Each structure stands twice: as C-alpha cells, then as structure tokens.
Structure 1
C-alpha cells in the first residue's frame, strides 16, 4: 500500500488501512472541514505520518467547503458559499462511476501528497467535473448539505466511490476504518465483493463520535435503497444482514452490525455508547479510544522549550506574547483593544445548542457584575461556526454578538477555522467548555488548548475527567445535571460556573501568580503525551486494526 507513501512504513504499523472520513482539517488553506470530527481526522493523519503508519485517508473535495463565516452590514453572522480552487492537489487521473438514484455519476480522485502537509496521504473525491451534469456536480459542493438526497449521495460517493478508487489504484486495504457512519455504503460495496458478511466484518472497523441525534443519521430504508445506498444488495438481504426490520434505518446501527469492532471517543462516551445501543442485537463490541490532538501541529514550540528548561519567566513572557497575537486579531475584527495583563476566557467550538455557548451569561445580572468588576477585570472571547441551516444556533451567535456591542471587554470573532482556532488556544488563559453532561463525546479542543498553557474549565464530560486533577492542572464545573429538566440544569450549572470563577479562578490569577503558573505548567505537562494523537493512532492499530 506504500504506492502513495513517500515514507518508509514502520513494521509495527504495516497492516494497510484506509481511513474514511467526511471531513479532514489538515491545513487552513484546505477548507474541507466543519468542526471536531475534521480536527480529529486531521490530527489522526498527522500522527499516522509521524509514526510512519501504512494508512491512507479517503475524504471529499468540497468545492464550497462548509461555508465562509463573515458579517453582514449590521455585523451579524453572514453565511457565504464561495468556490474554492486548490492548485496544490495532485490529479490521480482516475475516474470511477457510482450509481445514485438509478443514474451513473462520475467521481474523480485527487491526492494531498504526504510530504505537502506532513500527513499520511489523503485521497479526495469530487463529482464537480465536466463528465457530470449540473445536479451530479453539486453532490460535492457543500459539506453536510441540508438536502437529504444530496446528503445520502455524498455518503455513496465517499463509501462506494472511495472503495472503487482504491481498487483502481491497485490498493487492497486490510482494514477499512469508518470515521462516523457516513461511509457505510463502503461496507455494502465490500459485501457485493465477498458475498459474506463475516468477510466484510473482518475488514471493517467503526468510530462513533457523538450521542447527538444529528450525528446518528437515520433515513427511511426504502429511500436509501432507491438512492443506491446499499448498492446491488436487495432490500430483504439488507434487512437480513443488518437485522434492521424497522422502516427507519440508522447508519450507526448499520455500522455496528457490519464492523468487527467499534469505539467511542472517551471513556465516558464508551459507556454512553454501550448504553445507547445496548438493545441492538448482534452488534460488534464497543470499546473506547480517547480522542487526541497532534502535538507537533498544535503546540507552541517556544512555550514548550521554556517549560522543558524550567524558565518560568520566559514561559510567562511567551504566553503574554501569544495573548498579544490573539488580541491583534480581536482588534482587527472588532475594534476592541484587549490587554495581555487581564485574565482572558475563551469559549470557542462549533456553535450548537447542547454545547451551551450562552451558559456564562445565563444569570444576566451576575454576568454584568463579573464583566464590570474593576478589581478583578476579565476579557471574554466567543468564536465558532453554527451549522449554516440551524436557525437556533445562528440566533444564539447573533444574540451574543449583540450583547458584546455594549462591552469593550467582550469580543465575538468570525472565521473559526484552523488558524483562528490556533490563535485562540495559544492566547487563552481559560478554555471554557459548557456542554450538557453526557452529550459531549470528547471535546478535543481542550487538549490543544492545554498544550498551549490554557487552563481548562469544563463540565465533567468527554475527555475532561480523564485529564483533570482538580485545581492542579484544570478546573471542573460541578454538575447535578443528569435527570434534571434542561431549565434547572442550566440554572445550576451556571451558578456553579460563576461560583468557581468568582471564588477560585479569578482571584487566583491576580493574587497568586506562582500557583497560576504552576497550574499552567501542569496543564502542558499532563496533556502530553496522554492526549497527543501519537498515543491514539497507536491504540487504533493495537486495539482495533490488529484485533
């Protein structure tokens, strides 16, 4: 499989793997990702390269990306779809065809060479080529298109198109890794080849990334069959091999039935996933492999060097410099001039209701007192992309933008992609994470923030409980959330969040610089290597691929 690899494969990782994902966050210039799933896949590819693994990524070349996040004339969120052109991709001169809704659609393959961004080789698929009619060309226009037919067509292109491109290249992977259920048509393509579900299961592994309904896609089984999701496999046979008798077909359940092993992305998520899918008969085992981020890409080298050399003064000075670099971006976008001496709290991730971007301001009076405190001043930055067709999430974003107008120490930034994410993680003092408990599968942004001396303040969900040493490397917002109404959960979580900020974190920052620096140093030391993706990709080989 080393045809596309420009590096010598390590014997430890010689089993050939094709890693299928709808999105990959590899580089700022390659806008084919939306959020955490893509950031995770990007780190997976970087660490596969670092460890010289025999792995190839298979993804999609989105002509318009996810969307470009701008502002309208009133400075509210503006969603723009702009065509992207990538001259650095290598045309593999391979075109395969797939059947979608009874029609032949052509798929062209392009390569992100491994040496370009120091990643494992990545094949990207496009239907936006002259051989197709306009409708077929739109399949690979927008990531997570809101139209169900287009979305299913995208999944067929990824799963079936990706498998056929590998075949054309003479690549015969021993393992097919589905990063989320989107690429499930690939398992049916393999079933057509082997005519034996056990032969398919031997070769397929599956990662489930979220307990959220939107991330566990369901469609009418007859609709999927008509679209060509199951390829040549008749509906009765699909029902037989998946055991899905209902009218609704869950991609996650299908993936659990057609894989040899699956994983959740943190210890808590592993438990949640096992509980969620416990009624599914004959499903594969679900273990947990906690997500991680690639240190080489994310960490500030000067910060790490100062830590290694025990240069406390240099470490504090470097952090201040990184804050200034972030504040230049704040000034550029908002006209507000932030002060590097002041405690800076950052909430930055995909804007979704369950992540509760507005939890901090739930009790408005208490929030106003906090941001107007002259003795212990703070600065707050919000950033993140809502799904472009989620009006509720967009309204939350705009509401926070509106509130920020009245305060010179609150900023809302747009353009939340790799580069801005990097600046925010390096410049934050506190990295705030406020999901509803058990609904955050992992929350990997806190890992790359911790690598850069940002101290995590988080609900005890996702990866956080595996990392947190309370008051030593991070802080936890206590929650009694399970089983309470959403209103009561938000009220209590807000109260606990404000208590910990007012009584512990803010006074500590201003009154005990040494202890603050110690927590910052512990944050960096403890997150590496446990949450560096080198550990994660090694575990995928030992616990999944070689299982």
Structure 2
C-alpha cells in the first residue's frame, strides 16, 4: 500500500519538510465555504479552518468527511414567522466522483459507499474526500444514512458514524493510500480504529497511528450506546465482541465512544488549555487511557479577516481603521433591514450574539433581568443595537422555542433583531458588523468556542464569560470585557442572575461610556484585541501545533 495519494488527488504543492508526515483527518462536518453545506456549527467551522491552514502551510494532510444530501438544514421562517426547518437536496457540480465505490456492512447487509473529491483549488483547502450512501444499488434506508447531518434516529446516527469511520478507513484502502496518522476529530469516526486494528494486526500498531481530539467537556455529553446494539449494526467491522472488549477495555454493556478512542489512541487532546485540564480530570481515573494534551482551537485568518481592516491595522492608520470598521457594518445593516424591516445606524454600538442555539450557551441571558434589558434598549444617551442569530438542533424543540421567543420579543424594540440563516456567509457578515461580540456560556461547559476569535480579527470586542479559549486570550478591560466568575457552588438561578447583572454592569459602566465618550480608548482596545488574537489564535498556529505536539 502506497504512502502517496494517487496522482489525481495529490496536493498542489511540495510538502514543507516540517509537515511531511501523512495525516488523514476524519470529521463529521467541515465548513470550508458557504457553497458546501457539510457542517452544523463550531466543530465544522474549526475543521474547515484546519483544512485551509494545512493548505497554507503546505502540510501533508487530507480531510475525510461526509457528503450530506440535505446538509444540516435550511433555517427558514414559517407563515407566522416562527422558525422553520427545511430539508432540501443540495447539488454540487464542483465535487468530482473519485471512482471509488465499495461496500461496508450496516444493518447486517452490505451497503454501497461512494466518495467525492474536493479539489484544493476551489476553496484553498488540502485535498478532501466526502462519502455518501446515496448510491445506486442501495435501498432507501441505506440512502438516508447520508441525508441529514446528525439525524435524530439513533440507528441512522450510528450508521452515519460507521460510514465516516469504517467507510473512511476502507476508502483509503480502496485508493491504495496508507497515511501515517489517522486523526479523529471527535469520536464520531472511532469505528475506523476497528478496521485499522484488523488490517495492522496489533493494538500497538493501531495506537502508533491513531490520534483523537475531544471537544466535549462533560462526561455525560459523550456518545454512548449499548454494545450489543452496536454489534448488531456492524459497528465493530466484523471484530468479535471479545476482541472489542479486549481492545477497548470496556467490559460492561454501555460502550462509551470517547473512552474507547482514548484507550486505542497514542495521544489525545482537548481544544483549549482549560478544556485540557477538564478532560484530564474527567477521564484520568479510567485505566489504560492515552496522554491527553491540549491544542487550543483557532480560525483561518486568510478566510475570515477583512483585508482592508487588516491593512489599516498593519499600517497603524487609526482613522482608516475606524472608517473601515464603520463601512463593514453596512452589509449587516442591510441583512437586518431585509429580514427584520428595521433600519439600524452604523454609528450606534452594535452588540451581536451568534452561534449554535443551545441551552448552556444562554442566548437569552440579557433577558434574565427584564428591567435592565428594557433600560439598555431605551437608553437615549448611549443607544445600542442588538442582533441575535444561530441555528438550534433541528429536533430540539426547547431551543427552537427559545429562538422564537427572542424573535417575537424583538417586535417590541426597533433596535433588536433576530436573524435566520446562520451559516458561514451570515457568520462573516455578523462578525464584520459587530462592535461587541457577546458570549455567554455556563462556565466551564464551553470546551473552546471560536466565534469570538474571528470577531476579534474583524475589530469586534469580546464581552464574555470566562470559558474556553477566552481564558487564554483575555486581558480584562485591555483587550476584552470579562464577566466575573460566579460562585461555582451557587444554584443555577443564583449563578445566572449574577452573570446577567455583571453583563449589564460592564455594558452600562464601561463599554457604552468608552464607545461614545472615549473613542481613542475604544480604538486602543480594538487594536489590543486584534494584536492578541493574531498572536496566538490563528489556525496556522493550531495546524502547526498538531504536527509538533500531537502527531510527532
């Protein structure tokens, strides 16, 4: 088996000698361009930036993902303006059929898998391959495996993981390619390890090749299934249960995917310094796990940063920097006018909350104190404009109701808007247009988070609870504004009330007066933020660290 990709799929550059080790990076989602709907949120944004920076650094790395026929979903409005979920077939003429067509056993029968190739020249990524079961010869059940990212049917969701893991590993065999490292971005692709074990013949040989990145800072949030359910689906690639138990050390009926990955991998990593500490504490009492280090997530500067703003920053032209930031707000104001029928002002401080809608991220934290919220929105001396956006999981009714409550509330305020269609394109518009980027997760439940990085690259100031990557970035009142940590022993109500009130204190006493009354100090904070985010939080640093600290 060759250590080189077939000629038709090779990298369009000579490898940098520092990054010549061959790596296949498995991820359930990749966000590389608005045109390719193979992602849901932060995990995909992170993986997409990794593929772009690996290209920029001339690394010997490829991406293995899934081609979702209906994407994640299209976020639309229903006739009553509530949020709707639309599943619609996506078409991509720029993807090439690799010619690879093979079977893996799912549902106790062979199903066909095809692989499509994304040429690096399209979106400046490394070579990427996307797997699908929407293939002639498959019945409807088999085809639906690759219809919807994170399907809510437990059997289909496990089958999706099997196509990524077993299918991805088998695809590499089909094209006669044997990378030195198999990097699992989250545990979705862990079934690849069982294929590799049978091919390589020993646990030692498997461990030599397997790397695992965990993104989940709570043990309960890691994927678990009954081991017999998985075995009946063919999850272990034909390996006997006795061999699976010996290989993973899991003797009980509950199979923990992340724990299995930690026991089969040579090295694992969390995705921020804090998350690395949390992960070691969370998993450290389990025998037989590998070393857990950390590589802090980051985003690709070339893709996300506004070139004119970056040039003004590099030239230290303060007037040009302020003028460009004001101009960058206009596309966001146009989207607000189009979707909400509201005319926002580019001279008014614009506060944005935008990311995946999930309860622990507390998108409505500002509304926990109604009186102060109303006061903020009606402050004539220091006016604000508030924008929310983000996609809930399509079958999370509670998160969808929360999104709708915010939307209906926005009708009461001409300076509040809730937008739909949160994908790469809108994300860029929001980050360009934000003056303040609001981040409100419950500490320490955000493993990393990265949206604030790309906001900072584009001249926005982070206002955040002290969680994830922010802990490594923040210099309070110098490059960001940080909510003081609540008592970790406090009840949820007490914690939320404290965080909410601290948010308003920062806005009322520091952020708004600085923005309107001390523009020089505000611009200094913007410049400090841009300087510090560029110093460490670009994906070039992250992609380099994986080679130096994890793959080595």
Task: Give the equivalent residue in structure 2 for 1:504.
Answer: 510
Q: TM-score, normalised by structure 1?
A: 0.99
> Does 2:552 correspond to 1:517?
no
| CA distance in structure 1 between the partners assigned to 2:219 and 2:407 by the alignment | 28
User: Tell me, which stretches of 5 or more residues in structure 1 are unaligned?
Assistant: none
Task: Give the equivalent residue in structure 1 for 2:257.
Answer: 251
User: Tell me, which stretches of 5 or more residues in structure 2 are unaligned?
Assistant: none
Q: CA deviation at 1:483?
A: 2.4
Select 2:121's aligned residue among 105, 115, 121. 115
> Does 2:100 correspond to 1:100?
no
> Does 2:299 correspond to 1:293?
yes
CA contact (8 A) 2:99 2:115 kept: yes
> Does 2:79 correspond to 1:70?
no
CA contact (8 A) 2:219 2:282 kept: no
Q: CA deviation at 1:213?
A: 5.7
CA contact (8 A) 1:481 1:493 kept: no
TM alignment of 1:127-276, pairs within 5 A: 127-212=133-218, 215-276=221-282
Decide whether aligned partners of structure 1 residues 462 and 477 sit closer, same or farther in structure 2, where only a CA change above 3 A counts.
same
Structure 1 range deviating more: 214-223 or 145-154: 214-223
| CA distance in structure 1 between the partners assigned to 2:220 and 2:394 by the alignment | 14
| CA distance in structure 2 between the partners assigned to 1:199 and 1:513 by the alignment | 60
> Does 2:357 correspond to 1:338?
no
Q: CA deviation at 1:366?
A: 1.1
RMSD (Å), alpha carbons: 0.9
Alignment size in residue pairs: 546
Task: Give the equivalent residue in structure 1 for 2:23.
Answer: 17
| CA distance in structure 2 between the partners assigned to 1:212 and 1:275 by the alignment | 11
1:140 partner SS: coil
| CA distance in structure 1 between the partners assigned to 2:366 and 2:151 by the alignment | 31
1:376 partner SS: coil
**1:310-340 deviation per Cα after TM superposition (whole angstroms, max 9, x unaligned):** 1111110100011111101110111011001
| CA distance in structure 2 between the partners assigned to 1:215 and 1:29 by the alignment | 30
2:356 partner SS: coil
Task: Give the equivalent residue in structure 2 for 1:383.
Answer: 389
| CA distance in structure 2 between the partners assigned to 1:222 and 1:117 by the alignment | 42
Q: TM-score, normalised by structure 2?
A: 0.98
TM alignment of 1:485-496, pairs within 5 A: 485-496=491-502
| CA distance in structure 2 between the partners assigned to 1:514 and 1:161 by the alignment | 56
Task: Give the equivalent residue in structure 2 for 1:542.
Answer: 548
Q: CA deviation at 1:529?
A: 3.3
CA contact (8 A) 2:388 2:419 kept: yes
CA contact (8 A) 2:353 2:439 kept: yes
| CA distance in structure 2 between the partners assigned to 1:487 and 1:419 by the alignment | 36
Structure 1 range deviating more: 273-282 or 289-298: 273-282
| CA distance in structure 2 between the partners assigned to 1:84 and 1:145 by the alignment | 16
1:253 partner SS: helix
2:90 partner SS: coil
**1:62-98 deviation per Cα after TM superposition (whole angstroms, max 9, x unaligned):** 0000000011111110100000011010110110110
